[in-house]
Structure 1
């Protein structure tokens, strides 16, 4: 099992943040299915202020490239991503088109 950590910011507006959290209390079933189908076995998102931190645990079949291709061809995932982008903003150092950025592990106990 591999684990990945990713980060992203939300637009710093309390009403938008609350709406974003409400969506994540009842994630669309098609989105859950696409996550599981890609090989992600566990996913958690944490928030402090407007910064998000995601932990993904994946099986051996998972690849970011395959997930990206599958998502690009899935109309419901694209609808979800377009909706979520109303609440999200790229990290200040993200390249154009980048959303969730992979974090480097710097310590392990």
Structure 2
């Protein structure tokens, strides 16, 4: 393989790697979640979700940097008032069957 072809292949691979990085940055929550995990005490991603798909929808209003409510493609998540380490969840399809459902109030997540 001559040098011109090698250089062209390197440029293509670099462009491909840059494109993947940009797609991960733009189309996922990965970097925001990673930043919060590293910098905020108590910030965690639910075990059923991932750093790529989880999005915090409501943050703690106090001095702590953790989320109170979040979601991914399949579920809604909430931290209960009992403990910031107690995560509850509900499947999004199930939530549609609850007339009083509010994704920012976990007390509405159960049918009465």
TM-score, normalisation: structure 1 = 0.25
**Higher RCO structure, 1 or 2 (CA under 8 Å, sep 6+):** 1
Under a length normalisation based on structure 2, what TM-score does the superposition of the two structures give? 0.25
Q: Which has the larger radius of gyration?
A: 2
Report the structure, 1 or 2, having the larger strand content.
Answer: 1
